[in-house]
Amino acid sequence: MSIVKLSQWEMMLLEAARSHGFVDEEIIHKLRSENTEAFLDVEGGKFDFTHLFDLSKNDPHTLETAIRDGYQIKFTTFNGIKFLLNKRYDIQADRDYQINGDSLDRVPLKDHALSWVRQAISKNWRIVELEKRTDSGDTIVRFELVNTPS
């Protein structure tokens, strides 16, 4: 079975809903029942969830599989990784890791989170393991762009 691919925007909407406190089956139910009002307070109302409702109506199997079983982002940007780390794991730049040019450096991730993020981000990024902390169980990593020939 291949992994479902979502756009970065679809990932952002889904992870914003999750960080708002909605659990997966609740998100699916709200999308199926076209309960648009349920999403009005997510991120202070700054996101328009119309695209997620359209995807749910036009391709419910794909979206529900992504919600339940995981997904890979088709193309992940620098800010997309920052958003994902923040919403899914409450890991923030400057507080939890440093930004060095076009890399995110010294990001602490638990094993399950590292495994999930490895499969979720697009292949234009590489995750380099820097150190394993036995006290916290974190692996400290760097996200860096993969150099592609011009």
Joined tokens for residue 120: 């979720």
Does 1 score more than 70 pLDDT? no
Q: Could you give phi then psi for residue 65, rounded to 5 degrees?
A: -65, -45
* Percentage of residues of the chain with pLDDT beyond 90: 94
What is the rounded radius of gyration, in angstroms, for the C-alpha atoms of the chain?
A: 16
pLDDT 10s digits, 63-105? 999 999 999 999 999 999 999 999 999 999 999 999 999 999 9
Q: Are strands 4-6 and 71-73 parallel, antiparallel or unpaired?
A: parallel
Does 149 score more than 80 pLDDT? no
The H or E element that residue 98 is part of is strand 98-100
The model's pTM: 0.92
Q: Whole-angstrom Cα distance, residue 27 to residue 10?
A: 13
Q: Is 49 helix (H, G, I), strand (E, B) or coil?
A: coil
Predicted local confidence at residue 42, as pLDDT: 96
The H or E element that residue 108 is part of is strand 103-110
